[in-house]
Amino acid sequence: MCACKAIGEIVKSGMNAFNDGNHTEALERLNEALTEASRVGSPIHQAKIRSNMALVQRMRGDVRSARRNYELALENVAMRLGADNPLYQRIRHNLDSLL
């Protein structure tokens, strides 16, 4: 299985855990996916994973951690795709909704 597909499967299991209300397991799986995305050098995967992590953290009431993950996700997207990209704009909107 290619690395990107494996990362996608880990993210999917993390978000399934989130949808089931298991936020701790969701964050564990997303952290695992983030480690893999970092290992293979995929900043866009990292950004998407961090955005998902921020969603989970926000729902847990951990706004500070959510804000930090949104900020790091924005850095990853800006570095690779620029700030005019729809992904950047979506993450920016999510960050702004925390303020």
Q: What is the pLDDT along the chain (99 residues), one digit of tens a residue?
A: 688 899 999 999 999 999 999 999 999 999 999 999 999 999 999 999 999 999 999 999 999 999 999 999 999 999 999 899 999 999 999 999 986
Phi–psi pair at 2, nearest 5 degrees: -70, 155
Rounded to an integer, what is the distance from CA 68 to the centroid of its chain? Answer: 11
CA dihedral for 42, 46, 68, 82, sign (positive or negative)? positive
Residue type, 11: V
* Type of residue at 74: L
Torsion sign, CA atoms 79, 15, 35, 96: positive
Q: Which of 59, 60, 53 is nearest to 10 (CA)?
A: 53
Predicted confidence at residue 2, as pLDDT, reads 81
Structure confidence at residue 57 (pLDDT)? 97
